[in-house]
Amino acid sequence: MSEIKRLTKAEILAGKSLIHYLYVEELGGEIGLKPLTERQYAQVEAIKTSGSKLTGAPVYDVDGNPDFNASVSGMLMEVDLGETVMKEFEAAATAVAYSLVTGDGEHWDVDDVMSIQPPGIVEKLAEKVYEISGIKSSAKDQEKVKSFRDQSRGAGDNPAPLKRPAPSKRTRRIDKTTG
C-alpha cells in the first residue's frame, strides 16, 4: 500500500504559479494562463452576481424561529438582463486579467482584456482559465442545459417549441389579481 504524501504550504501555494500554455488561433500565437487563486475566484463570482438584487426580510414563527418557507416566499429577485450580461463579461475579463501571463511580464488589467479582439475571445479564454483552475465550465453547464431541454422535448432533435394544449372544459384559468 502506498503512503499518502502530506503536502507542504509551499507545495500547495505553488499551484497558482503553474502556467498552462494555450495556442489561440484567433490571436495567432501562444499565451500563458495560470490558475485562479481562491480569492480571485471569489472576486470573479462576486462580479457575476452583482447584476441581480434580492430583496425581502426574514419571517419568524410564533416562537421566534426563522420560518424558511415564509421567508423565501416573501423574497423578490430583480434581474437587469443588460447589466447581468455586462457583469458576466466583466467577470470573464477579470478572470483572464488575473490569469494572463505574457512573455513581456507586463501586468494586464480588466480594461486591457476587454479591448482584446475579436469579439468572443475573452469568453473563450475565461473558459480555459476556469478549466485550469478546476472550476466547472459554464460552456459545459450550457451543454447540460441544452441537453436537458432537448430531452424534455421528447424527440431530442426537434427544434419546434412545445405547444400548450387547449384548456378542457374542466380547466379554468385562475388570475391571481382577481382570484
Q: Could you tell me the residue range of the domain that residue 108 belongs to?
A: 10-50+80-141
Decide if 156 is inside a domain: no
Q: Is residue 155 part of a domain?
A: no
- Give buried/exposed letters for 32-42 (b at 16+ CB in 10 A, else e): ebbbbeeebbe
| Tens place of pLDDT per residue across the chain (179 aa) | 679 988 888 877 777 678 999 999 999 999 999 999 999 999 999 999 887 777 888 888 999 998 888 888 888 888 888 888 999 999 999 999 999 998 787 889 999 999 999 999 999 999 999 999 998 755 555 565 455 445 544 444 444 444 444 444 444 444 444 44
Please give the tally of structural domains in the chain: 1
For residue 9, give the DSSP letter. Answer: H
Dist. CA 60–CA 155, nearest whole Å = 47
What is the structure's pLDDT at 149?
A: 44
Whether residue 118 has a cis bond before it, omega within 30° of 0: yes
pLDDT at 9: 85
pLDDT at site 118: 95
CA-to-CA dists, residue 146 to 121, 124, 143, 152, angstroms: 22, 19, 5, 10
32 occurs within a structural domain: yes
Q: Tell me whether residue 130 is in a domain.
A: yes
Q: What is the reported pLDDT for 129?
A: 96
DSSP reduced 3-state for 163 = coil
Domain for residue 73, yes or no? no
The pLDDT of residue 144: 52
Tell me whether residue 107 is in a domain: yes
| CATH number of the domain where residue 86 is located | 3.30.2220.20
Q: Is residue 74 part of a domain?
A: no
pLDDT the model gives residue 52: 79
User: Which residues, in sequence order, are CB contacts of 82 under 8 Å at separation 6+?
Assistant: none
Answer whether residue 27 is part of any domain: yes
User: pTM to 2 decimals?
Assistant: 0.62
